[in-house]
Amino acid sequence: MAQLTDDELTGRYQERRRTVDHSRYDVRDARQIPTTERPLMADSFQAAAEALAPSNAERARKYTDAACALRTAPTPEGFVIWDRLNHMYVINVHCTDRTEAVAEAARLNRRHRTSYVPHMWG
């Protein structure tokens, strides 16, 4: 494994910061989720569904459907949103079709552009 100098690490951080200024969120097919992460994401959706069940049955049903879609064998179904800045999937966002996922990613990107402070301690 190559060792990077402090300047190289800082350069990588600055490049990442620059590239996520306007397009932080991407749409990914749920099949791209590593197999080790799928059960964790499905459990997250299921927990959200159980928490919402008494007060918001419609949203709880959507989370239950997402948990089932991610547990589908052999590959999960649907689309998820990838956060390029934090290298992780956006928690509890699952879309059944690409159009819905693209619209959600666009909404998150608009919110990001209005609230993002491009400094570590800004």
pLDDT value, residue 98: 95
Question: Would 85 be classed as within a structural domain?
Answer: yes
- Establish if 97 belongs to a structural domain: yes
pTM of the model: 0.73
Domain ranges, residue 106: 23-115
pLDDT given at position 23: 84
What is the model's pLDDT at position 119?
Answer: 62
- Distances 19 to 15, 26, 37, 72 between C-alpha atoms, Å: 6, 12, 26, 34
pLDDT along the chain (122 residues), means of 10: 82 77 87 89 92 90 92 87 88 91 94 75 52
Structure tokens at 100: 């819905």
pLDDT given for residue 27 in this prediction: 95
What was the pLDDT predicted at 87?
Answer: 83
58 domain-assigned: yes
Domain count for the chain: 1
